[in-house]
Amino acid sequence: MHLWKAEDDSLSITHLRLGDFILELFCYKEFKSAPNTIHATATDLPVIGTKHLGLRVDSIEDARTDLVAKGIVENDIAINQGRTGPRYFFIEDPDGILVEIMEDKRDFWGNESTEQ
């Protein structure tokens, strides 16, 4: 587990790892409550609610170049630096759910490359 906290304590981000998979959990000090539809499967299943899914790539520049060539993103899409270190950009799936494309070479588990 790896924990990052904002200096003003407004946000904490926890990373949990299982093999090559990382689950990133956000905890905001100030948040909006989920709608009541989440309490029943029958009403929640049709609601688009996944905030985003992240896909890790070896090279963020190569991923952007490939997605531009396929017409999925515009050439000027910005690559951002995340609060906890990874470089990323977002695309949308056909339902409008965000997909984070990220290059993450942090070494907080002691066995990953630290090249940036």
Q: What is the mean pLDDT of each run of 10 residues along the chain (116 residues)?
A: 92 85 84 77 67 87 95 92 90 79 82 46
Our CA dihedral for 97, 99, 45, 28, rounded to 10 degrees, sits at -90
Q: Are 84 and 15 in contact (CB under 8 A)?
A: yes
pLDDT at 113: 45
Q: What pTM was computed for the model?
A: 0.65
pLDDT at 67: 94
Q: Which residues does 16 contact at the CB level (< 8 Å), separation at least 6?
A: 1, 22, 23, 25
What is the CATH topology of the domain spanning 2-29+48-103? 2,3-Dihydroxybiphenyl 1,2-Dioxygenase; domain 1 (3.10.180)
CA–CA distance, 28 with 35 (Å, rounded to integer): 17
Q: Are 48 and 97 in contact (CB under 8 A)?
A: yes
Our CA dihedral for 111, 14, 34, 93, rounded to 10 degrees, sits at -30
pLDDT at 78: 93
pLDDT at 111: 59
